[in-house]
Structure 1
Amino acid sequence: MKALGQDKGRIAEDEALNFLQMQGLRLIERNYRCRYGEIDLIMEDGRAIVFVEVRYRRSSQFGGALESVDRRKQAKLLASAVHFLREKRMDRPARFDVAALAPANGGLTVKWVKDAFQAA
């Protein structure tokens, strides 16, 4: 396992994707990019479209992964999600989840927060 920035992010994203798929979610799109920002994972949970922000933190010294999804990041995610839903012409319930990962016992632990924030 490489220990450099993007590699860590990719590994964390892979781990989050595997975890969420084991919970029954189905991948629609990965790393969706538009002019408003990027969404790490877009998944389906039953009829709901789930926009997942994946966060990895080696240490919680400067705040944990969950706390790093601030109002500014939430606004970007919301704008990107609206763009995705319009582009794909999807009219379905949607929610925003966060998959927070941290090292533990030589691997990674995943804390999945469903409905982590609401569209304002």
Structure 2
Amino acid sequence: MSLRNKRQQGQHYEAVAEDYLRRHGLLPCQRNFQCRSGEIDLIMRDRRCWVFVEVKFRKNNHYGSGADAVNWRKQQRLKRAAFFWLQKQGHAIEHTEFRFDVVSLTGEPPTIEWFTNTLVEG
């Protein structure tokens, strides 16, 4: 599959994930935020909470789910990008409610799994 097709595929599944989250009450704010630190697929609001969403698609789960692909390194890039975005928007990290979610899509039509608050430190 060419890079262009992979990009289109990614955008398609991000739109599917966004629609799914909208139906569950989240409000979309931005898609594909990029900075030096990384990329955030979807930025949404769940009432007062900013939600930073990583979307992963897998044709099948032979090598694990899409959520399994969000390893520690990916989580750190996502966290740095989210902190940069919050700061750019004028939000103090210490006083802003936010969380990190993963939407995993598997198969066609996709089975959707939504994992909330996936990046927990400690």
For normalisation by structure 2, the TM-score amounts to: 0.89
What runs of 5+ residues in structure 1 fail to find an aligned partner?
Answer: none
How far does the alpha carbon of each residue in 1:60-113 deviate from its partner, in whole angstroms, 9 at most, with x for none?
122210110000000000000000000001242000000000124xx1221111
Q: What are the within-5 Å matches in structure 2 for residues 76-87 of structure 1? A: 76-87=77-88
Give the 5 Å matches for 1:21-100.
21-91=22-92, 92-100=96-104
Aligned-residue CA RMSD (Å): 1.2
Contact 1:65 1:101 in 2 (8 A): yes
The alpha-carbon deviation at position 119 of structure 1 amounts to 4.4
Greater fraction of residues in helix: 2
Q: Secondary structure at the match of 2:65?
A: coil
Aligned length: 115
Aligned counterparts of 1:44 and 1:119: Cα–Cα separation in 2: 22
What amino acid is the match of 2:98?
A
Give TM-score, length-normalised by structure 1.
0.90
Query: Identity rate of aligned residues, in percent?
Result: 35
SS at match of 1:13: helix
- The CA distance in 2 between the partners of 1:87 and 1:59, in whole Å, is 37
Deviant stretches of 4+, over 6 Å: none
Q: Structure 1 CA distance, aligned partners of 2:118 and 2:101?
A: 5
- Deviation at 1:7? 2.2
Q: Give the distance between the partners of 1:99 and 1:87, measured in 2 at CA.
A: 25
1:56 and 1:113 mapped to 2: Cα distance? 14
Q: 1:119 to 1:85 in 2, by over 3 A?
A: farther
Distance 1:95 1:118 in 2: 9
Q: How far apart, in 1, do the equivalents of 2:50 and 2:97 lie?
A: 6
